[in-house]
Chains A and B, each alone.
Chain A
Amino acid sequence: DVKVTQSSRYLVKRTGEKVFLECVQDMDHENMFWYRQDPGLGLRLIYFSYDVKMKEKGDIPEGYSVSREKKERFSLILESASTNQTSMYLCASTSSGVLGYTFGSGTRLTVV
């Protein structure tokens, strides 16, 4: 009963490539989030969206963009991948914060 699906578990990309990370949820949640997870730094918010076509910058948006054309899909785009974007990327969704977030299984991106 997977509810938040991230399209790839592992990705290896070259420096300078444009990278798309896809996230789909089937819970009709309004709010969706992209984080990167790095050891010792916890989760850092890249972008979030609280409605279709709406997006807000998080704490570390530089080098990233997002797209939310449909309610269930929230895409993270690395315009020109760099080695310092090597990380675990987590997508999450929620309808209401007090109910908690539902996370995807993550995409481990390596940029070489």
Chain B
Amino acid sequence: AQRVTQPEKLLSVFKGAPVELKCNYSYSGSPELFWYVQYSRQRLQLLLRHISRESIKGFTADLNKGETSFHLKKPFAQEEDSAMYYCALEGSNYQLIWGAGTKLIIKP
């Protein structure tokens, strides 16, 4: 079955500390994975996608097929990173399979 798991509902770290938001997936083929972010009172938006191998706002995510993971990382957290983060996997017909989300709180 296709599934995305984000084991942490809430993650709280201090400003300047490293951040890692975990995402594990279950998929039989070659996965297309995404991270979306929703800042307070803003619309949900694409943060990055594995196919682009990009770094956005200092965040990176590496696909680990052996561990079926796509963790989101940032070496030094900033207060403006506080948001809700969703990991998603593309299924058939461009449908996305979503994780339950992780609320990231950056403490000053």
The interface size bin for chain A is: 20 to 34
Which residues does chain B contribute within 8 Å of A50, judged by CB atoms? Answer: 93-94
Q: A42 touching B93 by the CB < 8 A rule?
A: no
Identify A42's interface contact among B42, B45, B98, CB under 8 A. Answer: B98
**C-alpha spacing A105/B44, complex, angstroms:** 7
**C-alpha spacing A96/B96, complex, angstroms:** 11
Q: Is A101 located at the chain interface by the 8 A CB criterion?
A: yes
Identify A103's interface contact among B43, B90, B94, B101, CB under 8 A. Answer: B43
Q: Is the interface of B mostly helix, strand, loop or mixed?
A: mixed
Which residues does chain A contribute within 8 Å of B100, judged by CB atoms? Answer: 40-42
Which residues does chain B contribute within 8 Å of A89, judged by CB atoms? Answer: none
Interchain pairs with CB closer than 8 A, number: 53
Q: A97 touching B98 by the CB < 8 A rule?
A: no
**C-alpha spacing A88/B96, complex, angstroms:** 18
Closest to B99 in A: A42
CB-defined A-B contacts under 8 Å, sample of 15 = A31-B93, A42-B6, A42-B99, A43-B98, A45-B95, A56-B93, A92-B44, A97-B90, A98-B32, A98-B90, A100-B49, A101-B36, A101-B96, A103-B44, A106-B44
Which residues does chain A contribute within 8 Å of B86, judged by CB atoms? Answer: 42-43
**C-alpha spacing A74/B6, complex, angstroms:** 30
**C-alpha spacing A100/B51, complex, angstroms:** 11
Closest to A48 in B: B95
